[in-house]
Structure 1
Amino acid sequence: AIVLLHQTTAQETRGKELIQKVCTTAPNRNLCVDVLSSDPSRSPDADLKDLAIISLRVAAKNASGMLTDAKRLINNANLNPDIQQGLADCKETILDAESQLEDTIAALLVDSNSDAQVWLRAALAAIDTCDAS
């Protein structure tokens, strides 16, 4: 979403300068810069599409980490059964979100922006569902 906001002003800018422009209005500017600079092969000459893909890959990696944590916590016998059920529900939705983020990346790679938006909305909804669980 941040990338789209800056599309018109940053169209010709690339790499570190583009990352700085894109992250100017981010709630956590340092985190934004760290994430968008995290791909050593893509970040140095990144355009807006590259930055979108970098951020989605980081999000998918984070979803994978959340999935691992949820699986581990579900098996904790000391947890209240309601909490275990919430974690089980979260696990299912995060699994969906992880897949939907990968679908978003695939859609961007073939320049299908409308499909990318659909998959990204689905992934965000799954993450919200996990948070609610």
Structure 2
Amino acid sequence: MMVATMVQSADADERVQKEIGPRTEGVTYYNPTGTFEVLKVLRGAEATAALGRNAAWAVQVRRRSTGEVTVHAMTWTNSDHVIEPKPVQVRSVDEIRETLNGGPGELSDVDCDVLTNLAEVAAYGKTGAVTTR
């Protein structure tokens, strides 16, 4: 019975993520009703409180044309289109090195890509060969 519950939970999580779509904090998207910046993705009790009804999730957005902030739980559809992905902060190699040596912060996916590229450049310098992923 425990396995069935875990599978149902995973299915529910997958369904919710599909309904939210690519909307994450910082993403800008448009649809026939306007252009919106995602301020926050709410889940569980926070979504229920924001909507005033039972909800697994909700999205807090700012309408670009008016600045109006609203919360909704409209499923991502083929009418929705991302126009500005979430901004990515790129750190210097020294900042990444500081984090690796126990400094503040965590390594992001971008930091890991930088480290991988540096390792590939270093390997190329030693061997003259380029590795591919």
Work out which of the two has the higher radius of gyration on C-alpha atoms and give 1 or 2.
2
- Name whichever structure is richer in strand by fraction: 2
Q: TM-score range by the shorter chain?
A: under 0.3
TM-score w.r.t. the length of structure 1 is 0.28
